[in-house]
Structure 1
Amino acid sequence: MKILADENMPYVEALFADVGEVVRVDGRKLTAEQVIDADVLLVRSVTQVNRQLLALNTQLQFVGSATIGMDHIDQVYLTERNICYTNAPGCNATAVGEYAFIAMLELARRFEQPLKNKTVGIIGAGNTGSALQKCLQAYGVKVLLHDPLLATSDDPRNFVALDELITRCDVISLHVPLTKSGAHPTWYLFDEARLASLRPDCWLLNCCRGEVIDNRALFAIKQLRDDLKLVLDVWEGEPHPMAELVPYVDIATPHIAGYSLEGKARGTFMLYEALMAHLGLTAHKSMDELLPPLWSQQLNPASVPDENALLSLVRLVYDLRDDDLVFRNRFLNHNGFDLMRKNHKHRREFSALRLANHAGSDVDWVLKLGFSGVGL
């Protein structure tokens, strides 16, 4: 069995080498000729899996995407070909939620506007939006949710209309899939009119897909409204961000919000489990085998008395400023965007840091953020 896997997908050999021959490929430049004799195809969002890519292949039986979104997968065509396909929903939800939370703490410090005094609107309350909600509520921040699909489901949470959210929120974080059709398309969801309607001093974060915001309209709005603060992890036209927009973005990164070691491992592991089930085999490996051990920090969580102390604690796990600096220095380089993503291997999630839990200390809110705790 030949397993074709994106070169930037981690832990593939550790999980799949016993199943078949693993061949690494550049997912963004993958051709039909390369796929001709593949039995299994493991991709990320940079690969369009469609009729053109699979035109020469007659034996493919499984496609796995280590992503939340499926907009790069031609599901109708794969169904016609009777090719099993799957993705990894929720694999990097914690990482994305923590990224957005950390970015808010960084803005709060930079502009001396405490996050706890803000009302945060989350647009898209699925896996990643819910992970951000968890962090914010653990910290005691007021949250409003907008998700028209979940609002008509049996989800017990309260939802508000989009225009109401924009009117009431000081911070808005985007966590929607990219869709161009249906009752609630998200392509250019934030066009010039919506961008202009944002509250004074609003913080806008995009951690889902670049085209959810009209980047040219955003650039034009920023010429008129310096009060708006921006965090962009995703960009229209990736891997070639709009160069003139970058200087106006307060925190800029190359689509790595979900790129924690845990998130990457979880995505690959979910595909491993799905392939083993498809083949009727037992998945005998575990995700814990893939990750480095937890870090131990002899720090009493009760010694986190304010927002500055919390940000200092968070930076022990992931200092977002590092990725922002690298992005600004390298995004215009040849293949700079993709190389930054490929080489991004250092980030952990809050759970990687084990904090000392002193008896009698009120640490629930710190642990609810996701940090690991151990009694002393």
Structure 2
Amino acid sequence: MNIFYDENMPFAAEFFADLGDLTAFSGRHLSAIDVSSADVLLVRSITQVNEALLQSNKGLKFVGTATIGVDHIDQNYLASRAINFHSAPGCNAISVAEYVLSAMVVLAERHLLSLSELTVGIVGAGNTGSRLSEKLNALNIKHVLCDPLLAEKPTDKRDFVSLEQALTCDVVSLHVPLTREGKHPTYHLLDAQRLSQFSEQQILINACRGEVIDNSALLAMKQQGHALKLVLDVWENEPNILTDLIAYCEISTAHIAGYSLEGKARGTEILYRALCQQLDITPNKQLTDFLPLPTISKVEIKHKFDEILLNQLVKMVYDVRRDDAIFRQQISIQGFDHIRKTYPTRREFSAITVDLDRALSSDVPHQLGFNNKTG
């Protein structure tokens, strides 16, 4: 069995080595000839899987994307050829939520804001929005959820607000899939008209899909002097992005919000288990078999947990300013895809054990995702 996989899928060789012959590829430049002999195709979001890519392949049995989003997959075409398809819902949701939290911590410090006094509008309450909501709950940060699709489901008992209400919050964080059709399309969800409604005190964070915001309209607004604070991890027309917009961002990165080692590797593990199920093979590997020890694995805290300590703890594990600096320094020289391909290892909060003095015991670090040890 020939298994072709994106070279940026961590531990793919380790997970799939026993299941067939492995071939790694560059996801952005994959051609029909490249995958003509694949029985299994494993991709990430930069690879468009459609008839054009698969026209020379006659034996493909399984396609998997190690991502939450599936807008790069022509599922109707795969179904027409009876090719089994799997995605990895939720695999990097924690990673994206921690990216947003790091951005909020950095901007709060930069602009002398109190996190506890901010309101957050989470637009999109699926896996990623839900994980962010959990972390904000842990910090008692007031927030609202906007998700018209989930709001229509009787099984979801959460309270939802309208998009207009969500967009009035101090921080607006976008976590929707990219859709162009249906009752609630998200393409250019924030167009020129909606962008014009933002105040100059607000923060807008996009860590889902670039096309959810009209980037040209956003640039025009910023060039006119609007002081809206921007955190952009995703961009229209990646990798050929609107680079003039970078200068107007508080934080700008190369679509890496979900790029924690755990986040990417969970996607690999999910696809491994799905392929094992299709082959009727019992999985005998798990992610913990391959994750390395973090550089810092334990932190001892002898101080009451407060906003200052939160700032230090979050930035110790992941300081988004590092990725912003790399992006600004390398985008014009190395390019968007090179930054992603050479992304330095980043761990999630769960890799760190927080040792708390019993007298100062707090469940907040554990609720945020850190491993807790109370001494």
1:221 pairs with 2:221: yes
Which residue is equivalent to 1:234? 234
How many residues get paired?
373
2:200, 2:226 within 8 Å by CA — same for their partners in 1? Answer: no
Q: Could you give the per-residue CA deviations for residues 25-57 of structure 1, whole angstroms, max 9, x where no partner exists?
A: 111111111111110000001111101111011
Matched, 1:161 2:162: yes
Distance in 1, matches of 2:251 and 2:19, equals 41
Determine if contact 2:200/2:229 at 8 Å carries over to the other structure: no
Alpha-carbon distance between aligned partners in 2 of 1:194 and 1:216, rounded to the nearest angstrom? 13
TM-superposed CA distance for 1:287, in Å, is 1.0
Spell out the pairing of 1:1-376 with structure 2 (5 A cutoff).
1-153=1-153, 154-167=155-168, 169-293=169-293, 295-300=296-301, 302-305=303-306, 307-334=307-334, 336-376=335-375
Question: Offset of 1:296 from its aligned partner?
Answer: 3.2
Query: Amino acid of the residue matched to residue 276 of structure 1?
Result: C
Runs of 4+ aligned residues of structure 1 deviating over 6 Å after TM superposition are: none
Q: CA deviation at 1:229?
A: 0.3
> Could you tell me which amino acid in structure 2 is paired with residue 358 of structure 1?
D
Q: Give the Å deviation of 1:320.
A: 1.0
Q: In structure 2, what is the Cα distance between the partners aligned to 1:36 and 1:262?
A: 31
* Post-superposition offset of 1:346: 1.4
Tell me which moved more, 287-296 or 185-194. 287-296
Q: State the Cα distance separating 1:19 from its structure 2 match.
A: 0.5
- Of stretches 204-213 and 291-300 in structure 1, the one that deviates more from structure 2 is 291-300
Give the structure-2-normalised TM-score.
Answer: 0.97
Q: 1:211·1:236 contact (CA, 8 Å) conserved in 2?
A: yes
Matches of 1:73 and 1:301, distance apart in 2 = 50
For the 8 Å contact 2:178–2:212, the answer to whether it is kept is yes
Q: Deviations over 1:317-371 (max 9, x none)?
A: 112111100100111224x211111111311111111011222323111210111
Q: Distance in 2 between matches of 1:73 and 1:227?
A: 37
Q: 1:224 to 1:362 in 2, by over 3 A?
A: farther
- Residue 8 of structure 1 and its aligned partner are, at CA, apart by 1.1
Alpha-carbon distance in 1 for matches of 2:258, 2:279: 29
Q: Is the Cα–Cα contact under 8 Å of residues 305 and 362 in structure 2 kept in the other structure? A: no
2 CA distance for matches of 1:365 and 1:313?
A: 12
User: Is contact 2:32–2:55 with CA below 8 Å preserved after alignment?
Assistant: yes
1-side partners of 2:262 and 2:232: how far apart?
22
Tell me how far apart the structure 2 counterparts of residues 265 and 251 of structure 1 sit (CA, whole Å).
25
Call closer, same or farther: CA 1:230–1:301 in 2, change over 3 Å.
farther
Tell me the distance in 2 between the aligned counterparts of 1:195 and 1:256: 24
Shift of 1:15: 0.4
| Cα contact 1:302–1:363 (8 A) shared by 2 | no
- TM-score by structure 1 length? 0.97
Does the C-alpha gap of structure 1 residues 242 and 348 become closer, same or farther in structure 2, counting only changes over 3 Å?
same
Out of 219-228 and 173-182, give the one that drifted further.
219-228
Aligned mates of 1:359, 1:192 — CA distance in 2: 52
In 1, are the aligned partners of 2:178 and 2:187 still within 8 Å (CA)?
Answer: yes
Q: Is the 8 A contact 2:354 2:365 kept in 1?
A: no
